[in-house]
Structure 1
Amino acid sequence: MSKKNQSKADAYSFFSCIEKNFDKAARYLSIKKGLLEQIKSCNAVYRMHFPVKIGKEIQVIEAYRVQHSHHKLPCKGGIRYSIKVNQDEVMTLAALMTYKCAIVDVPFGGAKGGIKIDPQIVSAENIEKITRRYTSELIKKNFIGPGIDVPAPDYGTGEREMSWIFDTFLSLSPGEVDALACVTGKPVSQGGVRGRKEATGLGVFYGIRELCKMKEEMLSVGLDVGLNGKKVIIQGLGNVGYHAATFFHEAGAIIVALAEREGAIYNKKGLNVSNVILHLKKTGSILNFPESKNIEDTEKALELECDILIPAALENVIHKHNANRIKAKIIGEAANGPVTPEADDILGKKGVLIVPDIYLNAGGVTVSYFEWLKNLSHVRYGRMEKRFSENMNTELLQVIETSCRKKIPIEEKKMILRGPREIDLVRSGLEDTMINGFHKIRDLKKSLKIENLRTAAFVLAINKIIDSYEKLGIFP
């Protein structure tokens, strides 16, 4: 059977994959079926069609906003622009957001949005028209607001689109003092937070790094503790994959392969990520990078020898037809749903450690939460504590120099004296969140003797959601 036919034969609902993982976790919980069904279901699905004048013609744009859970408000989730956007995909991503937020203790319900356009061929002027009209449609139905539903960037969107959303919301909500908090992922000049761009990739790095510190887990897959020298393959060089690759490289890991849509490049001695990006910008492709081997079929790169495989692009790239050929000992799901349930079972039997998406790529929403809090407080991170920290450190250095009768070099003194900047505080908060999240999942897995980290992560998320409902007094 050809790959194309295999793909058609295996086509199934993305949302059903999440339901299968949810059902596995439910076996470890003594919760009434009705309550579980409530948690699984999407609370609100808003499908819209609106006209936009593009050139001399009127085009009808298909778009969505899904609010999966209202156990906590506001709802939170990105907006993606892609010609492949459909209701099933947006519902699935909204559900994943609910579980992500619960695992990392971010007090949001899950949501997601999507507009069915190809941002590569639509002009910036027309993307702005579509974005502003989409925002006005959300406002009409009360699907956006600082305490209702807070969008963010996703595939095909970024700071530019978020600034248009904020501006449209502000113009249609005069007097709203918390308007900045209606959307996150904004430019820093418009209330954004430093560190948001790299947040998801950095969260992936923190999560894998923490796993690699665990002697028990490393022994189970025959690896040494730590990241240094580990061979890593990353699929996808978008925002998440690029930053993840950069942080792994800086930590001493060896990036042996990078894969993109047009193919992959391989060098067993390692690839310099920064140089690959420069080559990509210059030529429009990662292929033919100096001192590397081209791999025409990007999926084949997933099957190369490595210690850590990080799919950071599309869903369902590891499936039942290629799972047995995967040689990685650890898979970090930087993308949403890159491993199908069937592949999950195959890889589990092989002893592969899979760090699940509902935990591992929660860095983005974690830092979005920090931005939302910053906007609501109307105070920049670091503004109040920076000078205080510098003064305290000055006094401490004086005591050390007096006690030791030795002067500390000026450059070292500057580093110690510097108070925390916004990005320092954001990264510290993200690191703490990812480390705590990992250990909660790991501890639950061990205490309940759960078969893998994914199921343990779902159990943790469901327990937290049930706890929220009980505190609201919704369920007996």
Structure 2
Amino acid sequence: MSMTLPNAVGATDGQRDDQAFFEAVWRDPESSATGYVVIDRLVRGVSSGGLRMRAGCTLDEVRGLARGMTLKESIHFEPGARYVPLGGAKGGIDFDPYSPEADGVLRRFLAAMAPLIEQRWTMGEDFGVQQSTIDEMLPGLGLTSSIQAADQVVDDPAAAQLRMKTAFASVVDGIRLDELVGGYGVAQAALAAMKRRGIAARGASAVVQGFGSMGGATARYLAEAGVRIVGIVDVEGLVHNPLGLDVEELLHTRSAKGNVDRTALRSDDRRLAADEWLDLEADVLVPAAISYCITAENQSRIRAQIIAEAANMPVTPEAEALLTARGVEVSPDFVANSATNAWWWWVFFGDVDGTPEQSFRKIADRMQTLSHEMFDLADAEQVSLREAAFALASQRLDVITAEFPIY
């Protein structure tokens, strides 16, 4: 692959088994920000993965996320479906997303990476970056959409874009459909895990860390299934009620950044320090905000039986080994939080029409099916859920590699 990246340094391409296909490092000429794009692999010349912004983001982090996207794509391979999984990729910017300079940094990063977005990298929002902000910026950079690279592998790009417009114009109970699908998928994964381990949804409890699109929707659909949401964490701290928080009220009053409006809390809702979320009594824990937040040092505080990874890489490998040893099961990110990515492509390629009805039906079916396949294999082979999910994704990636161009 050959292209020019303005203000990019250290760009490399080519792929071995232990390396990404392409990496680029960008230095912002107007701030201290550093940005990264890693393409783990291309399928039919295209890759998929979101863009995050957080202070402390590293190239190694983005490499891990890109590899995770390859798994997240391949796990959803269905023979005969219009959507053929793409390669995995990821972008990251080491900068504070709450800084008043953040939008300027994002615009300059997108400008530098425009050739990739045009030709090779289909991207969207992730932690610290909102899709609406990306969409507002791209036309001024000569780009039609954040997924325009996929136009080259869809039969009718105009029809695909029309379906996407339908999907992104859809609103469910006052909240945009695209802000709900990812969390709905996490909720389905968590509910499937609960069912497999004999935990009835009604009467069960959950704690959700993060209340943006992913965490907020996860909380909504767990609550809708009868699960009490006893704790929600945002950047300002933890709100807690052992009888269950009023999730709908908090969703409709939260800020654009996913912060709970403390004035909307009820008299018996408590405000606690953010780091107390791990200590709460709950059946399910949903880390939906940041990577590496559950570590070998703090995992012993967790009382939940199930962790559903709504964020990317929230549990470190060392922590997961210790959790697994004491019977806490982790539904891995590339399964549990995969619905957002898959939904985009189901709509784009035409497996669903973009309406809420078809979207929710497809997500529920696929997330329940994948979760049960993962549990079946884990139980049969006596391995962790992650090991089972990795085996399933690897098997499907082998099929994709054999049937479609990989470059």
Per the alignment, do residues 72 and 434 of structure 1 end up closer, same or farther by CA in structure 2, a change over 3 Å counting? farther
Q: Percent of aligned pairs with the same residue?
A: 26
C-alpha separation in 1, matches of 2:186 and 2:108: 34
Cα offsets for 1:181-234 (capped at 9, x unmatched): 79x9999659847432212111101111222333xx32xxxx3xx311111111
Superposition map of 1:220-235 within 5 A: 223=199, 226-235=200-209
Unaligned runs of 5+ in 1: 1-36, 52-57, 383-420
CA-atom RMSD in angstroms: 3.5
How far residue 156 of structure 1 moved from its aligned partner, in angstroms, is 2.2
Q: Does residue 1:210 correspond to 2:192, yes or no?
A: yes
Q: Does residue 1:462 correspond to 2:400, yes or no?
A: no
* Letter paired with 1:431: A
* Letter paired with 1:162: D
Per the alignment, do residues 43 and 155 of structure 1 end up closer, same or farther by CA in structure 2, a change over 3 Å counting? same
C-alpha separation in 1, matches of 2:191 and 2:135: 31
How far residue 471 of structure 1 moved from its aligned partner, in angstroms, is 3.5
Superposition map of 1:24-423 within 5 A: 38-51=16-29, 58-59=30-31, 61-71=33-43, 73-105=45-77, 107-122=85-100, 127=103, 130-140=105-115, 143-145=116-118, 148-157=120-129, 158-165=131-138, 168-170=141-143, 178=151, 192=168, 194=170, 195-214=177-196, 217-218=197-198, 223=199, 226-277=200-251, 281=255, 289=265, 290-296=267-273, 298-373=274-349, 382=353, 422-423=355-356
How far residue 121 of structure 1 moved from its aligned partner, in angstroms, is 2.5
C-alpha separation in 2, matches of 1:118 and 1:185: 32
Q: Which has the larger radius of gyration?
A: 1
C-alpha separation in 2, matches of 1:186 and 1:81: 29
Per the alignment, do residues 73 and 464 of structure 1 end up closer, same or farther by CA in structure 2, a change over 3 Å counting? farther
Q: Which has the higher helix share?
A: 1
Higher RCO (Cα < 8 Å, 6 or more apart):
2
Native 8 Å contact 2:124 2:134 kept in 1: no
C-alpha separation in 1, matches of 2:164 and 2:87: 25
TM-score, with structure 2 as normaliser: 0.80
Per the alignment, do residues 306 and 42 of structure 1 end up closer, same or farther by CA in structure 2, a change over 3 Å counting? same
Per the alignment, do residues 130 and 345 of structure 1 end up closer, same or farther by CA in structure 2, a change over 3 Å counting? closer
Q: Which residue of 2 aligns with 1:451?
A: 383
Q: Which residue of 2 aligns with 1:426?
A: 359
SS of 2:216's equivalent? helix
TM-score, with structure 1 as normaliser: 0.69
How far residue 80 of structure 1 moved from its aligned partner, in angstroms, is 1.6
Deviates more, 1:454-463 or 1:156-165: 156-165
How far residue 366 of structure 1 moved from its aligned partner, in angstroms, is 0.8
How far residue 432 of structure 1 moved from its aligned partner, in angstroms, is 2.0
SS of 1:256's equivalent? strand
Per the alignment, do residues 238 and 177 of structure 1 end up closer, same or farther by CA in structure 2, a change over 3 Å counting? closer
Cα offsets for 1:362-387 (capped at 9, x unmatched): 0110112134325xx9xxx65xxxxx
Native 8 Å contact 1:75 1:111 kept in 2: yes
* Letter paired with 1:295: L
SS of 1:144's equivalent? helix
Unaligned runs of 5+ in 2: 1-14, 78-83, 171-176
Native 8 Å contact 2:36 2:91 kept in 1: yes
Per the alignment, do residues 317 and 428 of structure 1 end up closer, same or farther by CA in structure 2, a change over 3 Å counting? same
SS of 1:264's equivalent? strand
